[in-house]
């Protein structure tokens, strides 16, 4: 039997790894994010999800601290969607997924873990990535360390505006 090793999950499970403040606001200054930021543009930012649903799970958020889509100005919304598109393009080029889950959870009732600052989840999916381990054991297998994936993705976001 092979062991699954994901030591970064323990801090999440125990709730010990929560920074003081909003991770997306802190990320703009490189504070409290364990250097998971891939890029910060004029209106949006993209970063690795520290507790990923799947390998290369990205978070795309507006720079401005808002919780509702209607609070965004049109240019902020456009910038946000452009960065989501850039994220799917980068992941397609690098990781060759078979599909994506792209979405946002607005409000605690909808599953938002950070409800005060809206953000998109961009999750690459591969045929067969949901199997008995996920369904029965509530375990996910992430095949590459998050820092290795980040290093591969960072060049795709060096020129965001």
Which residues does the annotation mark as catalytic?
119
- Residue 59's H or E segment, with its range, is strand 58-62
- Residue 48's H or E segment, with its range, is strand 44-48
CA separation for the pair 158, 96 (Å, rounded) = 20
21 bridge partner residues: none
Sign, CA dihedral 122-50-112-69, equals: negative
Helix axes 74-95, 146-153, angle to 10 degrees: 110
Query: DSSP H helical segments within 60-143, as ranges?
Result: 74-95, 132-137
């Amino acid at each position: 039997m092979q062991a699954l090793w994901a030591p970064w999950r323990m801090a999440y499970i125990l709730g010990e790894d929560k920074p003081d403040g909003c991770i997306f606001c802190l990320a703009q200054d490189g504070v409290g994010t364990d250097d998971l930021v891939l890029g910060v543009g004029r209106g949006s930012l993209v970063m690795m999800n520290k507790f990923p649903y799947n390998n290369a799970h990205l978070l795309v958020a507006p720079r401005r601290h808002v919780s509702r889509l209607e609070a965004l100005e049109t240019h902020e919304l456009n910038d946000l969607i452009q960065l989501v598109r850039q994220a799917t393009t980068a992941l397609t080029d690098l990781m060759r997924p078979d599909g994506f889950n792209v979405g946002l959870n607005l409000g605690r009732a909808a599953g938002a873990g950070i409800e005060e600052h809206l953000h998109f989840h961009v999750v690459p999916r591969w045929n067969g990535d949901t199997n008995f381990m996920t369904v029965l054991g509530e375990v996910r297998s992430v095949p590459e360390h998050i820092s290795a994936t980040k290093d591969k993705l960072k060049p795709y976001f060096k020129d965001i505006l």
